Amino acid sequence: AVNKIRDALGDSAAVPRYVETVAGRGYRFLAPVTAASSDKQVTAAAPAEDAEGAGARLETEQSRDATGVSGGTFLTTPEELPTAPRALVRNLLLLVQAMYLGFYLGALANLSEINDIFVEANLSHPAALMVVLVTTAAALIPIRLFIIAAVALDFRNLQSKFGTLFPALLIFDLLWAVSPFLLIHHINAGLALGLSAPLVYLPFAQRSLVLMYSRERLNAVRT
């Protein structure tokens, strides 16, 4: 709860401006406190403003919980993301899923060549690596199809579902970031390394796109 308060105030535990942690005792509010205005117009307007912003605050809290965002995290928060046309975000999300599907299907279609690459590279336990490759590709294909369907059909719970999948998906995506090296018979090692670098960042970009897509969907529902 305190982390959410700090996050809402843009505060941090390391350099507190509003909420300070007092070891062994609890928390202390640091900012100066002043009496609220007694103007009737302000009092009357407050409930309407709260009702209007309640959905946004709830959605923001759910998004942070669903995607693992809490105080002090290095992951991007929804408030930090830029505003972009919803159609553009949607198309980029679909392209990312299609790209990953291409990786999985391409690898499964060339298992013999990939096994030769593992053997030629003198990698330990090439058979085990082949099992990992086939298993992860087969498991990730339905996940990518689910995300494609969720985006195409405007699934309202995409953000929370993706947040549940993100920790495991991040690990698998980082493993598949080395997939350009599976083309080593057709490209040189330098190009494979250059292609792998953006693939390391892509899982985080995909998460940002999901947050942007869900935020724009919420805005569209309100309008």
Q: Does residue 96 carry a pLDDT above 80?
A: yes
The 3-state DSSP class for residue 19 equals: strand
Between CA 66 and CA 13 the distance in angstroms is 22
Distance CA 188, CA 59 (A): 46
Highest mean pLDDT among 17-21, 122-126, 136-140: 136-140
CA distance 70 to 81: 16
Residue range 145-173: average pLDDT? 92
User: What is the C-alpha to C-alpha distance for residues 184 and 73, in angstroms, rounded to an integer?
Assistant: 37
- Comparison of pLDDT for 127 and 67, the residue scoring more: 127
* Cβ–Cβ < 8 Å for 56, 218: yes
pLDDT score of 108: 96
Distance, CA of 199 to CA of 170 (rounded, Å): 11
For position 68, what pLDDT does the model report?
47
Q: Given pLDDT bands bounded at 50, 70 and 90, which one contains residue 170?
A: very high
Mean predicted confidence (pLDDT) in 163-175: 93
Amino acid (1-letter code) at residue 90: R
pLDDT reported for residue 106: 95
pLDDT, one tens digit per residue, over 185-202 is: 999 999 999 999 999 999
Long-range contacts of 31-39 (CB under 8 A, 24+ apart): none
Higher-confidence position of 146 and 3: 146
Q: Are 145 and 105 in contact (CB under 8 A)?
A: no
Most confident of 51-55, 72-76, 92-96: 92-96
pLDDT tens-digit map of 10-54? 887 877 888 888 877 888 888 888 877 655 554 444 454 454 455
Answer yes or no: are the C-beta atoms of 163 and 75 closer than 8 Å. no
| % of the chain surpassing 90 pLDDT | 49
Residue 219: the pLDDT is 67
Across residues 162-189, what is the average pLDDT?
93
The percent of the chain in helix, strand and coil, each rounded to the nearest 5, is 70, 5, 25
- Distance between CA atoms of 58 and 37, rounded to whole angstroms? 27
SS3 track for 116-177: HHHHHCCCCCHHHHHHHHHHHHHHHHHHHHHHHHHHHCCCCCHHHHHHHHHHHHHHHHHHHH
DSSP character at residue 35: P
Average pLDDT for residues 58-77, to the nearest whole number? 54
Q: Above 60 in pLDDT, residue 156?
A: yes
